[in-house]
A and B are shown apart, each in its own frame.
Chain A
Amino acid sequence: MISGIFHSTYEKDMALRKTHTQKIRIAIVIIFVLAFPFFANRYFLTLANQVGIAIIGAIGLNILVGYTGQISLGQGGFMAVGAYAAGILTARMGMPWWGSTIAACFITALIGTLFGIPSLRLKGLYLAIATLAAQEIILWVVTHWRALTGGVDALVVPDPMLFGLRMNTDFNFYWVTWGLVAVVTILTVNLFRTRFGRAFIAIRDQDIAASVMGVDLFKYKLLAFAISSFWVGLAGALTAHYRNIVTWERFTVDISVLYLAMIIIGGLGSVTGSYLGATFMTLLPAVLTNLGRAVKSVLPVIDSIIPFIQQATFGIVIILFLIFEPEGLNKMWKDLKDYFRLWPFSY
């Protein structure tokens, strides 16, 4: 009979996986991720890669918005920096794809820090508008600095090769994406067990109190922007190498909003939430399209209105989440776990 989770040592309290069930669950997830590509067809691999890239981007954004409390609408712009940096370094300067990916992370971190400077003076909605400006400025530069980015034309990136293997096939890229998802996850989860992570959370909860306690606001806010942009740049660089082509149309403000929706629906301030939100928002259109096809074969009359139903469903799902579970999928997942842990006698 379990009535809750109790710890008798600090080590146990600080552990990432506190119970046996959690350990078994993570083992099942790892086995599933490792086995998946051998059973999945190309369509599912494409979806898995899109989900993986979205998870990295969502974790990046969650560090800034969910953990540090700095609202950002610049996600699309920062992803564009990552994608263009990786694309230009590989296509124009012949840097290997893995080198340009790492370089793109640092470049994006630098640009992110630059646009994070106003965050010292601006909070909440004002910061949101400042980051929206970052999004627009970055896209404007990308589309108008023709000598560097090729302007509004598409930038073609050569195929990423590793030991003679073309890495951007759906199967090969799966290992790149999900390997990096694992790295990003481990580093981010551990980040919030260090003084840096705790400083971020302190700033989110009450910045003045944090400052009184000795947290250097300027330093840590900029650091949050840098770390967040680092991962977001990685997501952008992966898009560039996976798709071999970079166009600005992929990084509009819609993307910034989509990623915010991901972390809100998934759960702010949680890595698991980033996973759930990114998966949910990436798969929802695919699920709706396939549902539409299934319905179409039964009820051919509604064929012409299916796209509109899909669009409406997308919006309705978001609204329902905000009303009924503002803490997102992560909270639902926790509630579900608690329910079964204490079953049948929950208090």
Chain B
Amino acid sequence: MSRFSKTLFAVLVVASMVLTACGGGGGGGEKAPIKVGAIFDLTGPTSDVGTPYGEGVKGFVEWKNANGGIDGHPIELISADYAYKVDQAEQLYTQYVQEGVVAFMGWGTGDTEALRGKIAADKIPFMSASYSANLLDMEAAPYNFLIGTSYSDQAIIAIRWAMDDYAAKGNSDKPKVVLIHHDSPFGQSPVPDAQAFAEANGVGFMDIAMPKGATDYVAELAQIQQFGASYVVIQNVSSPAAVLLKDAVSQGVTDTVQFITLNWCSDEIFINLAGDAAEGVIGTIPFTPPSSPVPGHDDPDAWLKEQGSSLAEKGLHYSQGWWTMATMAHGIELVLKDGKEVTGENLRAALESIQNFDTGGVTAPISFSPTSHRGSDSLRLFKVENGKWVQASDYISAGD
């Protein structure tokens, strides 16, 4: 090869590399992408609900980018499965922060709580599907934002409803309520607030932890009956909740006791697993299920239908992920509208300025403020009728 042809060859190689690099960047005409990190549980113990939630987050990003992005900026979502392992969540979190993400979408209570110190130090606004009231502590978790109604508020709403329902049935005394929960930070989370609320209102209260890996809950049901509870609030995920309900039906407990499920066991999976035993159960659902359509379901449904699926098939956790990401994107949009640079601090300030963000009826309107990251304290109750969640109340607030 002559010297000239060598040089020519080198130039060609370099030129082709530059061209491919441009091609990968999406044509060069677009504005800079906004990086958002995310971890999902796709293979771990909560993957049954983690998968549709993750798909919802991704779905929103793809839909938004297909529709011009945020003010022309595409969202670049960097995500991976972490199998509900805290160590892996930490690895992925630091990696993504290193890569310059400005916001982070988490998942469970374990990883969200483990990361909150780092989140605060790195100033990365963080939204997850954990609605633990611990994350509302503005000192300890200044960058955590809660979209859903917190577990504590859900439990309080459940007890509030139980009191009204009990009085409506013509009783003059106060009901007794049992809160039966998963034996973990997630499960334990609403207990203190629920207990305080019950005691303040003269409602009899007991909490029972559901043992890990139990195959039946007959002993716990006997405890519930002995206590004389008329209402049982379940804070767990769908499959143990379904087992509990099946046992309750076979033991005849459902004749005297009304079961109320908090959000992680109030979904389509619960109904599928519990079957007929789910009939009549009340659910505190911050994210309206597709079985009772609202305008906020239209975009995700249309997007899914383009891919040959539908929201009814994916379930309510898809729209939960979709609207959580949408709220974060709304915050980013506000920062851009102000003409500011998208940094964690600016994004936090923008999120804190959100007042009554409309999710098309999927959730109660979401508001944040510099003193509270509680997106909403109200939700609607749903009831299982003929294998579907049907709206059973208007918005009930946990406040006052």
Q: Which A residues lie at the B interface, using CB under 8 A? A: 41-43, 46-47, 50, 143, 151-154, 156, 170, 243-245, 247-250, 282, 285-286, 289, 292-293, 306-308, 310-311
Contacts and interface: CB of A to CB of B under 8 A. Distances in A.
Contacts of A151: 188
Interface residues of B, number: 29
A43 B42 contact: no
Contacts of B188: 151-153
Contacts of B92: 289
A307 B91 contact: no
A46 B90 contact: yes
B117 A243 contact: yes
Nearest to A307: B81
B84 to A, nearest CB: 9
B97 interface: yes
Contact of B91 (A41, A46, A245): A46
B250 to A, nearest CB: 29
A170 B95 CA distance: 12
Interface stretch (B179-187, B194-202, B287-295, B337-345): B179-187
B185 A311 contact: no
A247 B94 contact: no
24 contacts: A42-B94, A42-B97, A43-B91, A43-B98, A46-B94, A50-B91, A151-B188, A152-B183, A153-B188, A154-B113, A154-B134, A243-B117, A245-B117, A247-B86, A249-B110, A250-B86, A250-B114, A286-B91, A289-B81, A289-B91, A292-B80, A308-B42, A308-B43, A310-B81
Contact of B42 (A47, A249, A307): A307
B140 interface: yes
Contacts of A286: 91, 95
B358 interface: no
B88 interface: yes
A253 B81 CA distance: 21
A173 to B, nearest CB: 12
Contact of A311 (B83, B114, B187): B83
Tell me what chain A mostly uses at the interface: helix, strand, loop, or mixed: helix
B81 A247 contact: no
A247 B91 contact: no
B184 A293 contact: no
A230 to B, nearest CB: 23
A285 B140 CA distance: 30
Residue among A46, A50, A156 facing the most chain B CB atoms (10 A cut-off):
A46
A245 B117 CA distance: 8
A286 B184 CA distance: 27
Contacts of A41: 98
A247 B83 CA distance: 17
A6 B214 CA distance: 60
Nearest to A292: B80
Interface in B74-128: 80-81, 83, 85-88, 90-92, 94-95, 97-98, 110, 113-114, 116-117
Contact of B80 (A46, A244, A248, A289): A289
Nearest to B94: A46
Contacts of A285: 85, 88, 91
Contacts of B140: 156
Contact of A247 (B42, B87, B97, B114): B114
A317 to B, nearest CB: 16
A151 B207 CA distance: 14
Contacts of A245: 113-114, 116-117
B185 A154 contact: yes
A293 B189 CA distance: 35
A43 to B, nearest CB: 4
B184 A170 contact: no
Contacts of B81: 289, 306-307, 310
Given A154-B134, A307-B42, A249 B185 contact: yes
Nearest to A159: B117
The 7 A-B pairs at the shortest CB distance, nearest first, are namely A307-B81, A46-B94, A43-B98, A152-B188, A43-B95, A307-B42, A249-B110
B88 A153 contact: no
B88 A152 contact: no
A57 B43 CA distance: 26
B134 A153 contact: yes
Contacts of B86: 247, 249-250
Contacts of A42: 94, 97-98
Given A152-B188, A245-B113, A43 B83 contact: no
Contacts of B187: 152
A111 B189 CA distance: 29
A152 B184 contact: yes
B100 to A, nearest CB: 11
A96 to B, nearest CB: 19
A247 B43 contact: no
Interface string B274-285: 000000000000
Contacts of B183: 143, 152
B80 A170 contact: no
B238 to A, nearest CB: 19
Nearest to B99: A43
A152 B92 CA distance: 25
Given A42-B98, A151-B188, A152-B187, A244 B113 contact: no
Contacts of B117: 156, 243-245
A314 to B, nearest CB: 10
B375 to A, nearest CB: 22
